[in-house]
Structures are given as C-alpha cells and as structure tokens.
Structure 1
Amino acid sequence: MPSRIVQRIHFEDFGGTEFERLVFAYHVRAGWTDLAWYGQTGSDGGRDIVGKEPLENGGYRSCVIQCVNRKTLTQKKAEEDMARAIAASANNLEVFKFVIGSAVSATRRDTVKTAAINAGITSLTIWSGVDFEEHLRLIGEDLLRRFCDGEPFPDRPDEIRHFAADFPRLSDNEALAQMAVVFQRPAFQTRFHEESSLPAFQAAIEDTIAALNTGVWRTREGETIRRVPSLHHLRDPGTKAKVRKASELVDKLRRAFVAG
C-alpha cells in the first residue's frame, strides 16, 4: 500500500473571518471556558478571542487570543495588536496568544517575545499555521476537514460552541462508558501467542491510543467506526489524569512491542 502524504494546510488562502471561527471552535474543543469572540463585532481592540485556558492542575487562567491570517506576521502588527489588547484590558494583561495562518521565523518569534516582555506580558504563545494544524489534527480533525471542504461554520459563537463542543451534555461517567468500547477489540482479548497478525496488533494498539486522545475510533484497517468522547471531554481533573495514565500505559505496551 502506498504511503499517504498529508499536505500542509495553507490557512492564509482562506478568509480571515472563517479562520477566526476555526480558532474559536478549536479552543472550545480544547476545553477553554468563558470564550468570547470579539473579532466578530469588528471592534476587537486587539482581542479577537478571550477565554480561560485549562491548566494541568485543574485551574484556569485568562488569555487573549489574536488571530493573524496573513502571509507573514510583521513586528509592527504584533506590537500594535499587543498594545491595543493591553489598553482594552485596562493594562491588566499577562497572557497573550497569537494564532497565525502562515509560517513564523525563529527571529520573529524572539523579537515578538521580547516586545511582549517589555510591554508587561509575562506569558506569550505563538502558533504558526503548522503548529495550529498539528493541534487541530490531534483533537479537531473534523473541524479542520470542515474548514478545508468549504462548509461554512455557524455565524454565532453559541452555535459554534454547540457543534464544536462535541458530546457537550455527557457526564464524566457517561463519557467513560462510551470510551470503554475502544478496549473491546481482539488486541486486548486474544492471547498474544494466538495473535494472527502482529502488524494488525500494533495498528490496534496505536488506534486505541488515538481514540483515547482524539475520540476517533477506527478498525484495524483504518476505517472510522464512529466518534467517542476523548480525555479532553472529561471535566474532573482526577478522572482525566487517570485516563491520561491509561493512555500512557497503552503507549508503553506499544513501545515494548516495537522494541522487542
């Protein structure tokens, strides 16, 4: 079977508003809360999106997200956006994030980070188009596919939030019950010495890891069975940590198999 080549997405070829919708939808999917889309109003004050970012310890921190869907991020554009956001936040802005549709050089990253520190921003994140695409493919492949296929996202933030949330009404117990089906496959039930296809066994283990992390449940042949909740849908930090640990253990099994 020939290898499948995934071409990089050129976000800058798409409209700025659609790009902002995609960024908003991604952060909904990633578990951010209190998201507001200021860019939609046309008077964002350097704040296309604001919201609370989930932290590893179970807490949240407020962050401003600026979407830049241009062929390049200039130093002037970056500094102006940060200055406007600081002014709109009453000089109380510490966390800022750029999501850019194009490539960002190492030099530009360094100069923008220096400008951010000088402006009083203590935490700055810069995602290039490649960075954003990698994060989307991890937990929002369906969102990326919809974007690339030209299917319009809803206009209203609440409508975007509804379809991007994916399984929004499930409790953690209900989500775990659906997630458990990914272990109901021969790879976890057949004695290893009776396994008829070792490549298929490895594929099943890798698919299980992907299902726990992305919610995409596939057969050994790579066909999508259906979507299930992923660890990103779990609300309780302790429960999420246990599922993450389970994923790490399955990955440990995969690495042991590959090594020996």
Structure 2
Amino acid sequence: MPKISKLVQRIHFEDFGGPEFERLVFAYHVRAGWTDVAWYGQAGGDHGRDIVGVERLDDGPPRRSVIQCVNRSSLTQAKAEHDIQRLLSSPTKFEALKFVTRGAVSASRRDAVQKFAKANGINNLSIWGGAELEEHLRLIGEDLLKRFCEGEEFPDKAAELTRFAEDFAGLSDMDALAQMAIVFDRPAFRTPFQQECSLHAFRQAIDDTISALNTGIWRTREGDEIRRIPSLHHLRDRHKKTSVSRSVQLVDQLRRAFASGLRDKTIRPCGCGNPDCPVFTVDSDVAVRLNQIRSGALAAFRDAYPKFHVEVG
C-alpha cells in the first residue's frame, strides 16, 4: 500500500514532547535566517529564554530576540506573566520576545499578554499559536516538518541542529524553491511604483536578491552573510530551473531600468538632501514599466513554485 502523507491534515504538535517541540522551533528559526541562535532550554536553567537569536529585519536593524516555547494546549495568562518575569530577571539583553505555543491563542489572551509585556517594558512581542507555526513551517520548512512528523530524530546539540536545518543536499526542488522564495519577501518586491514612492534601500535589495538566487549566499544590506540557501543551480527540473533563471534575468532588468531612470532624471530623489532618504519621484510611464518588469519577475518564479505568495501591492 502507498504511504499516506502525514502533512495533509493539521500537525498534532501535542504528540511530541517539549524537547522535540523546541528542536523544531529552533530549526525553523535557523532556516528563517536568524543568526547566533542559542538553545538555552536544552541546557536547563533557561530563565524563560528557551531560544535566543538575532532576527534580521528587512526594514530595520537586526534585533536580539528571545523565543519562549510553550508546548501546552493553551497559553495561560499566568504562564505568560511568569515567563516574562523570569526573563526580565535573567542577565539576557533583548529587544523582542516571541511566544510559540502548540495550542490556539485567543485574541483576548493576545491582548492581555501584550498589555502585561508593555507594562514591563517589552514593546516588541509576538505570539504564534500552533496554526501559525505550521503555516510558517510549510512556507520555508516543509522538509523539516516532514522529518519531524515521520519520526526522524533531530540532533540534540544546537550546533548540530543548525547544520541539520541548513542542509539542503537532499532537498526536493519544491523544498529548495520554498527556501529561495524568502529572498523576495521584502518591501522592494511589494511596494508599487507610483509618482511618489518610498523605496528603502531598493537597489541594494535588488542586488542582494540576484546574488542570493545565483550563489545561494543571502546577505544583509550591510553585506553580512545571513545564511546559505539553495541556488538556482541546485534545481534538477529543467523547466523550474529555466523559470527561476528567467526571474533572475528580469530582476536584473529591473535593476538596470531603475539605474537608467536615475541617470535620465525620470526617477528623482525627493530633494530633501538626505542621501539615505527612501522617497523618490517617478515619471508615470517609468513607474508602469518598472511595475511590469517586477510583476514579470514574480510571475516567472511563481511558474516554478506555484505556492509563491509575494505580489506587488
């Protein structure tokens, strides 16, 4: 009999113990591009900080973040407040806190935890329930989810887990494309070109995207390596590889069209004198052309990877 897929129905995270749940959450955040990720929960004495790492933000500086894994059917107010108080008493310096729980979290509970966190000086708080964790895993880590559900043992050590999450030698083309897709998930590919628009670090984002798809090296705007991802050269299917190559060509065409607009003044900085100002004025016909090229690049990648969700606007 053919093997029944375990990924069709929702994932029953409750079937797994606390360490296994933490391993999966750790592996996902490594896959998502977090750096300096440490697994305190494994060592014990975590002070409410199961996982600590540096989260890379496309529209702001990196921030040191703490992840508290709650392998329970619900995130109670008492549990959240207890973990926050323990974290605040620990020596860890952080700028954001995330709770990841296997159960659903109601809107009223989210609001109450948010209110308590803000009252204690934590202004950046996020909460993922089981459905949200599964959604994020399916986006860029379905191979991790598949291994997790099929009982493949995850490593015990943080360094080994990092290598495990970054290994793509055995990835299918679809799993490789899922990782490649994240380099498009940034304002440079979502913000519509119009007569006046904000294009924060646009040219650098385009350069980084081309480099990541061609070489598999994903970098920050400052040039620091975030992590390795599969490149188009890892794709085995000829049609998928051709479509991704076409997408890269169109992103390069977008870069050259933008540079041309700056040269002939059809794209102009706002005039405030700040060299880092993200606001540009764009002639209407040029805006239409840039939007067309960018939409074509996204469509070409979607031809290879139908689950691709990034769209302009």
The TM-score range, normalised by the shorter chain, is 0.5 to 0.7
The change in CA–CA distance for 1:188 and 1:153 in structure 2 (over 3 A counts) is closer
Tell me what 2:79 maps to: 77
Tell me what 1:250 maps to: 300
Q: Flag as ranges the 4+ runs of structure 1 deviating above 2 A.
A: 171-178, 180-184, 186-189, 244-255
Tell me what 2:50 maps to: 48
Letter in 1 for 2:83: D
Q: Aligned runs of 1:60-99 on 2, under 5 Å? A: 60-89=62-91, 92-99=93-100
| Alpha-carbon separation, structure 1, partners of 2:36 and 2:100 | 18
Deviations 1:145-198 (A, max 9, x none): 111112211111111101101359xx9443389416589429969xxxxxxxxx
Match of 1:16 among 9, 15, 18: 18
Q: State whether residues 26 and 164 of structure 1, in contact with CA within 8 Å, keep that contact through their aligned partners in structure 2.
A: yes
What is the CA-CA distance between 1:86 and the residue it aligns to?
A: 1.3
Letter in 1 for 2:67: I
Match of 2:39 among 29, 33, 37: 37
Letter in 2 for 1:126: I
Q: Aligned runs of 1:100-179 on 2, under 5 Å? A: 100-167=101-168, 172=212, 173-175=214-216, 178-179=231-232
Percent identity over the alignment is: 54
Number of equivalenced pairs = 198
The change in CA–CA distance for 1:186 and 1:135 in structure 2 (over 3 A counts) is closer
Q: Could you state the TM-score of these two structures normalised by the residue count of structure 2?
A: 0.56
Q: State whether residues 28 and 165 of structure 2, in contact with CA within 8 Å, keep that contact through their aligned partners in structure 1.
A: yes
Which secondary structure does the structure 1 equivalent of 2:216 belong to?
helix
Which secondary structure does the structure 2 equivalent of 1:8 belong to?
coil
- Cα root mean square deviation, aligned: 3.3
Deviations 1:16-55 (A, max 9, x none): 0000000001011111000110000111000000000011
Match of 1:185 among 239, 243, 246: 239
Q: State whether residues 86 and 93 of structure 1, in contact with CA within 8 Å, keep that contact through their aligned partners in structure 2.
A: no
Letter in 2 for 1:32: W
Q: State whether residues 232 and 241 of structure 2, in contact with CA within 8 Å, keep that contact through their aligned partners in structure 1.
A: no
Q: State whether residues 23 and 154 of structure 2, in contact with CA within 8 Å, keep that contact through their aligned partners in structure 1.
A: yes
Which secondary structure does the structure 2 equivalent of 1:125 belong to?
strand
| Alpha-carbon separation, structure 1, partners of 2:61 and 2:10 | 34
| Alpha-carbon separation, structure 2, partners of 1:139 and 1:165 | 12
| Alpha-carbon separation, structure 1, partners of 2:50 and 2:237 | 41
Which secondary structure does the structure 1 equivalent of 2:64 belong to?
strand
What is the CA-CA distance between 1:140 and the residue it aligns to?
A: 0.6
| 5+ residue gaps, structure 2 | 170-210, 218-229, 248-293, 309-313
